[in-house]
Chain A
Amino acid sequence: MFNKINSYINEPKPKIGLVHATFAILGSFVLAYLTMMVYSKFMVGDYAIKIMPTVIFTPILIPLYGIWLLFSKKLLMVILKILAILIPCIILLKVF
């Protein structure tokens, strides 16, 4: 079973499947929200400057992350890309 999962996430996909699409869409929302949460946490200024840009830029970041995640031939690449942003964001949000 491990070999099956391994070959599934490692083989290049000739077209977007449901799993790739789901990861890309959900991943883009999660990454956009996390990135903007990091911004609002560390930005210096009053609450309007900390929060309002996040509200404005999140809908622009979501499709940009989506396209970035879309450009992955293997499912493993999608997962790695998500983790590459997710883990540092969580560390920044939780530790500081």
Chain B
Amino acid sequence: MNVDNLYLKYLIRSHTIIGIFVLFFFFLSTYFGTITLLKPYLNSWQNPSRYFIDNSKNIDLDSSINNALEQLGNPDDRVQIELPSFKDRALSVNFGLSNKVYVNPSTGELLDTKLEDNFLSEFFNRMHINLNMSKVGQTLIGLSSIGIIFLTITGVYLWLLNRKNRVKVKNFWFKWHKDLSLIAVPYILAFAISGALFGFTLGNSELFTKSATNGKESSTGKVVRPIIYPPLAKVQKSGQSAEMLPFLTLYNIAKEKYPELKITNINLFKWKDKNAQIVFSGYLQNNRILTGKVNRATVTLSGVSGELIDKKGLEKSHIISKVLSGFYFFHFIPDEGLFIRALYFIFGIGFAISMFFGLLIWIEKSRKDYRNENYFSILSKLIFASSIGVIPATTFVVLLYWLLPFELEDRATWLSGAFFAFWSFSLFLCIYIKKTLFTLKMFTLFTAIFLLLTFVVHQINIGFFIWELYSFDLKEAFYIDFTILLFSLFLFLLTLKIEKIEFLKRFEGL
């Protein structure tokens, strides 16, 4: 592979410049995206109502759903039920635009979720997709994703060219930037392409719709949605009421009719009518990728007799639904457990470090070329505060989540404000302290203290100590608390040793 020297210069320069531009948005999106991998476990951890003791380990479907329906005023159409899973211990029921009702699945008891708002998972997700800047932020993240695709292609191309020339890389930041990025290429591409789809092109697809419809329609959703998301059931109400089979019986019939289906949701149509239908939907255990969030497999039964009305698997799915399901799967891993999430987490951290090192390459090189110490000193402080200062700010907001009373008015505003206030304070620390290693030590110490306090305050708030969480089978909360404790102890140790670590001395003077 021979490339003109001039084109090689263009490639390197464009890789550097685009890298610097997209870095700020994509680094933060990667950081918060890595945290949102823990969203299913956060749901159980952050909501006090989920700390119920489940002695029976069986789901009492009939009591749970009937109690919830009664609470909602006994709706009979388009009722959505979400079964308990690792994503949420409770069973939830809602219809239309009403609030969701949550139920203890083993007793059918209604849970008090009045003051709960899933703030932590919602906040981290908002920061991941738009940095709290609404549509503008989402577009910027989408554009950064396109930038990352460019960087990946040019980065791999430059690596292939360098392999041919066999120039040994000596610069520390360069070596690790290259190695970490190369290892994570499939991961980066999967997230960059799907991120660009969700963040940019999906919301800016009017031109394609106008072109496809010869100018008649510009809303992509209006034209495509009925094809990709056909209605789950078309039921005509007969007006004659009828006795429904118990939910557990219908659930067992559905499992019998479709053994590969892992049921996650139930939908009720024209319930208690002679024509009532119940739709069980979920993913296929032997094909999770193509039956993800967008392309669920379903079994439709008659509510009266349990007779099979329809069964939808992959053979009836539109090819675009399958493709989109694949995209959703690789981006959201909706039904995957801890192992895959941990793998993604490691890749996420590796990729974030690679981006950070990429920036350090530029700072080091530019410092030699331009010798404007003040400019690079300020820039370094800003970068340090943005990339490392965000960590203690995150742990601060998690601590405050449990410290502030749930009844506090505008609680979400206080929590968001506290996050940004601490993040800004970290910039002040960077400038005031001046010494990079000592600032890093302070950040580590703050993070350790916040995490330890979170561990303590959380348990006081929920009324369970860590050994009780384990003995009462509140596994998600136990493992999160245990990880928080371990991590805070590790960080305390690190704080004591940080200035002696050889590797970290490279950051001094940046």
Contact = CB atoms under 8 A, between A and B. Distances in A.
Given A21-B17, A48-B318, A55-B208, 9 more contacts: A14-B6, A48-B227, A49-B320, A51-B224, A59-B193, A59-B196, A63-B150, A67-B154, A71-B7
A41 B224 contact: no
A47 B197 contact: no
A70 interface: yes
A50 B212 contact: yes
A60 B196 CA distance: 9
B14 A70 contact: yes
B208 A36 contact: yes
Contacts of B149: 59-60, 62-63
A37 B320 contact: no
Nearest to A66: B150
Interface string A20-53: 0100100000000100111011010011111111
A15 interface: yes
B6 A58 contact: no
Contacts of A49: 319-320
Question: What is the predominant secondary structure among interface residues of chain B facing chain A?
Answer: helix
B469 to A, nearest CB: 43
B205 interface: yes
B6 A12 contact: yes
B224 A15 contact: no
The size bracket of the interface on A is 35 or more
B209 interface: yes
Nearest to A59: B196
A73 interface: yes
B146 A48 contact: no
Interface of B: 6-7, 9-11, 13-14, 17, 145-146, 149-150, 153-154, 192-193, 196-197, 200-202, 205, 207-209, 211-214, 220, 223-224, 227-228, 318-321, 323-324, 327
Given A12-B6, A48-B320, A63-B146, A55 B11 contact: no
10 contacts: A16-B13, A21-B14, A24-B14, A37-B208, A40-B211, A47-B212, A50-B212, A55-B208, A56-B323, A63-B146
Given A47-B213, A50-B212, A71 B320 contact: no
Contacts of A24: 14
A79 to B, nearest CB: 16
Contact of A47 (B11, B202, B227, B324): B227
A63 B152 CA distance: 10
A13 to B, nearest CB: 8
Nearest to B205: A55
B207 A33 contact: yes
B198 to A, nearest CB: 10
B205 A51 contact: yes
Contacts of A56: 193, 197, 201, 323, 327
A86 interface: no
Contacts of A47: 209, 212-213, 223-224, 227
A38 B211 CA distance: 7
Contacts of A70: 7, 10-11, 14
A43 B319 CA distance: 15
Question: What is the predominant secondary structure among interface residues of chain A facing chain B?
Answer: helix
A43 to B, nearest CB: 8
Given A51-B209, A51-B220, A55-B205, A15 B153 contact: no
B355 to A, nearest CB: 17
A93 interface: yes
Contacts of B13: 15-16
A34 to B, nearest CB: 9
Q: Which 9 A-B pairs have the closest CB atoms?
A: A59-B196, A63-B150, A37-B211, A50-B212, A40-B212, A48-B227, A48-B320, A54-B208, A47-B223
Contacts of B14: 16, 21, 24, 70
A80 interface: no
Contacts of B220: 51, 55
Contact of B227 (A21, A37, A40, A46): A46
**Which residue, B6, B227, B320, has most C-beta atoms of chain A within 10 A?**
B320
Contact of B201 (A50, A58, A93): A58
Nearest to B147: A63
Given A16-B13, A59-B197, A48 B209 contact: no
A64 interface: yes
Contacts of B223: 47, 51
A69 B228 CA distance: 36
Given A47-B213, A49-B319, A67-B150, A59 B224 contact: no
B449 to A, nearest CB: 42
Contact of A51 (B192, B208, B319): B208
B146 A59 contact: yes
Contacts of A14: 6, 9
**Which residue, B145, B154, B214, has most C-beta atoms of chain A within 10 A?**
B154
A59 B201 contact: yes
A11 B351 CA distance: 39
Nearest to B192: A59
A59 B145 CA distance: 8
Given A36-B208, A40-B211, A71-B7, A55 B197 contact: yes
Contacts of B200: 59
Contacts of A53: 320
B17 to A, nearest CB: 7
A62 B18 CA distance: 13
